[in-house]
Structure 1
């Protein structure tokens, strides 16, 4: 297959929404990128629309039911902070960077989710210290490119404050600029999280979210200037994209508290889960309900009856209940007994203690216990799409894509690099390809 670009730079702006496009059109560096670019302002995310499944769909071209990154975190009932799907080993099937390495391309990835211990040349994965005896630098070193990570932290480590934003994105941007100038990678995947962080903390709109968009514009400008200064711009394709949108919330649904009341979860005297027949795994705006043994018909019946009862009252916050089979048809996890969707204004947590439905207080938002805006909802929610902007070699200038799916991005990236992801759920966006 013909290769259409020497360098593919993909920048994911986490939580960049279609509703942000009017703002992007006023920001100088996004305006420069948008001028002559192929654009879609109606990209349908996957279900559940959370970061790790989304980013895996982007680089595989498949829905979560196929690549198996079906949630952000593992099922670990009772664990205060569940481990995430950090490592490449969890992905079923091939990825864009795997296929690039097979063709001996130089690859880079900075904080791209689900890449820990992947075969990537210049690599700092998104992984954080989740044990009291771990340090952030150590887990990065063990899961990424050892000497590259040391070099980036030596050069730019002063910019970061652990994994806090906006400092982490400043570090990632500096590392991206250096990597473009010194390594000139064939494929570079960059994940910037500032917008998502601010919206969780402060809500979808407001000064903090706008300030984050402005900072991302400045970071985009630094990356494009690095491409100019390194002399690769005319031989490159640059992609800016979002993975999902977000919605403001006012109430929390603690499904595990309902399961505790129903006798499907058991806790010890400290309130820690010590046994369960059914358990809720939150995707914020949606959730999976898992049954330890789906052949346990009494548990399945009791869980089904509970959900039916909760659906009768809109104040419980449930909008839709799917069976596991229906979830799989939507591209989600068919191994769940049920998948549930929250009404707008509600989201799910995995808390077991307390009242099952609670109104979020400002003090809980400030303390980080609860969020002010979340994602994870069904793509069918109104005004919930994201964006795709492509410019450079292999791209027809000025093309407008009326609508597309997140899974279309991976096959399109593969086409630009002359690679093949095999049979995928997504399609190549042939309408923007200039070969």
Structure 2
């Protein structure tokens, strides 16, 4: 296996024309919650990923992500080349505002409900290219993805019929449904490898989750996190091997990326508890029943909803009074600040918050309403969702294979640059992206 991986990585480094056609292939593997600094951590065993890096392109500081620095918004940015202010995905689900009530985020929603613009899968389909997406967010119900197993609740029910039948035939349904993060990642990787070997899609995307859940439970820079990162490296190797098995290593570009980094914290902010004390929301049995102001937590930020138009100005001032300068609060943002962070204004997006409370390094944000204090101490955990200007939110980025210049390196890139670069490799124009083609990483056509 190790000998094969060495040969595969060397072969993937074979440079080819950056011009594209239907014989070009791109594989994107997203390792959820994989911080950029793990790539250089000698305590993390990453022979496959580092081999791809050494044979291809990478960054010194990692990849800057979009706000909110959570999973679904950033995976959508990776497939559109724009930030949430344009593609519209703000949560791991669809927020629903209701006057006088807490904002609810529903996760089992389709691409058409969640995303405002076409994904890369849609654009390449229009050009006659094929795709597969395994556990990729915001793709449920896609009419463009040939083999789709989306990241959505009851995911198997939303898989494309052919793929679901193959998963059932392989005897993987029961193991998937009873398995934890490690078991599910293993199955997703196996299915992705099988699809690439057998159907050779022009674009394959794969999203693996165990590291994210491990970091939430224990925090980053822990033995548990480093062990799981090493396990994911082996799963990346399985997909690299499938590229070789398909006989396409000289025509395939591999991207190994992440959606966000992680920050360890031992304190959590509970703004809804303070809002309850102020009489701005009511609860029964620890459940919010009504709210003039309500905070939806996203890890390192709280999305603040002012639900009563008649009292909105007064309530905005109260939020500033309660939280600005409070322990653990880095900033309280208003809509005038949102564009600086790539976020839409509430008047342009019905699900966008009216304000944001941003936590400091070392603090998370939770939605609980019990208790009388803003800050709760606990054993170490981990969160993402912090403002993306925080360097610890930088994510993994490695590109290797056909069309990639060996040894190319930049200080950092933006994750909006990934989709335009993939589009260039596949020969499909991407209209009006925020990001750019990473020409520094690509071999010039000859």
TM-score, length-scaled by structure 1: 0.89
Residue 123 of structure 1 is matched in structure 2 by 148
CA distance in 1, matches of 2:394, 2:369: 32
CA distance in 2, matches of 1:85, 1:92: 17
CA distance in 2, matches of 1:187, 1:357: 46
TM-aligned CA deviation for residue 94 of structure 1: 1.4
TM-aligned CA deviation for residue 159 of structure 1: 4.2
**Secondary structure of the equivalent of 1:166?**
helix
1:279 pairs, out of 291, 294, 310, with 294
Residue 221 of structure 2 is matched in structure 1 by 205
TM-aligned CA deviation for residue 400 of structure 1: 0.4
After superposition, residues 220-259 of structure 1 pair within 5 angstroms as 220-259=236-275
1:423 pairs, out of 429, 432, 439, with 432
**Secondary structure of the equivalent of 1:200?**
helix
TM-aligned CA deviation for residue 65 of structure 1: 1.0
Residue 36 of structure 1 is matched in structure 2 by 55
TM-aligned CA deviation for residue 360 of structure 1: 4.1
CA distance in 1, matches of 2:194, 2:186: 12
**Secondary structure of the equivalent of 1:361?**
strand
TM-aligned CA deviation for residue 121 of structure 1: 0.7
**Secondary structure of the equivalent of 1:372?**
strand
Residue 219 of structure 1 is matched in structure 2 by 235
Residue 341 of structure 2 is matched in structure 1 by 330
TM-aligned CA deviation for residue 385 of structure 1: 1.3
Residue 3 of structure 1 is matched in structure 2 by 20
Residue 87 of structure 1 is matched in structure 2 by 110
Residue 398 of structure 1 is matched in structure 2 by 407
**Secondary structure of the equivalent of 1:250?**
strand
Q: Deviations over 1:142-189 (max 9, x none)?
A: x23023123124313354344621111001011011111111111101
Contact persistence 2:39–2:46 (CA under 8 A) = no
**Secondary structure of the equivalent of 1:125?**
strand
**Secondary structure of the equivalent of 1:224?**
helix
The verdict on how the C-alpha distance between 1:357 and 1:227 changes in structure 2, with shifts beyond 3 A counting, is same
After superposition, residues 361-380 of structure 1 pair within 5 angstroms as 361-362=378-379, 372-380=381-389
Residue 114 (structure 1) aligned with residue 132 (structure 2): no
The verdict on how the C-alpha distance between 1:188 and 1:105 changes in structure 2, with shifts beyond 3 A counting, is same
Contact persistence 1:70–1:333 (CA under 8 A) = no
Residue 317 of structure 2 is matched in structure 1 by 304
Q: Deviations over 1:358-400 (max 9, x none)?
A: 43435xxxxxxxx810000112224431221111122222110
Residue 178 of structure 1 is matched in structure 2 by 194
Contact persistence 1:115–1:125 (CA under 8 A) = yes
CA distance in 2, matches of 1:198, 1:271: 27
CA distance in 2, matches of 1:73, 1:249: 25
**Secondary structure of the equivalent of 2:151?**
coil
**Secondary structure of the equivalent of 2:331?**
strand
Q: Deviations over 1:85-134 (max 9, x none)?
A: 74211101111101011112111000001111112111100112xxxxxx
Residue 394 of structure 2 is matched in structure 1 by 385
2:91 pairs, out of 51, 71, 77, with 71
Contact persistence 1:242–1:386 (CA under 8 A) = yes
2:282 pairs, out of 266, 272, 290, with 266
Q: Deviations over 1:334-360 (max 9, x none)?
A: 212211210111111222233343434
Contact persistence 1:257–1:351 (CA under 8 A) = yes
**Secondary structure of the equivalent of 1:3?**
coil
Residue 347 of structure 1 is matched in structure 2 by 364
CA distance in 2, matches of 1:62, 1:384: 18
CA distance in 2, matches of 1:356, 1:303: 20
Residue 45 of structure 1 is matched in structure 2 by 65
The verdict on how the C-alpha distance between 1:96 and 1:183 changes in structure 2, with shifts beyond 3 A counting, is same
Contact persistence 2:277–2:372 (CA under 8 A) = no
Residue 123 of structure 2 is matched in structure 1 by 99
TM-score, length-scaled by structure 2: 0.86
After superposition, residues 283-294 of structure 1 pair within 5 angstroms as 283-293=298-308
CA distance in 2, matches of 1:72, 1:328: 21
TM-aligned CA deviation for residue 320 of structure 1: 0.6
Contact persistence 2:120–2:419 (CA under 8 A) = yes
**Secondary structure of the equivalent of 2:330?**
strand
Contact persistence 2:147–2:162 (CA under 8 A) = no
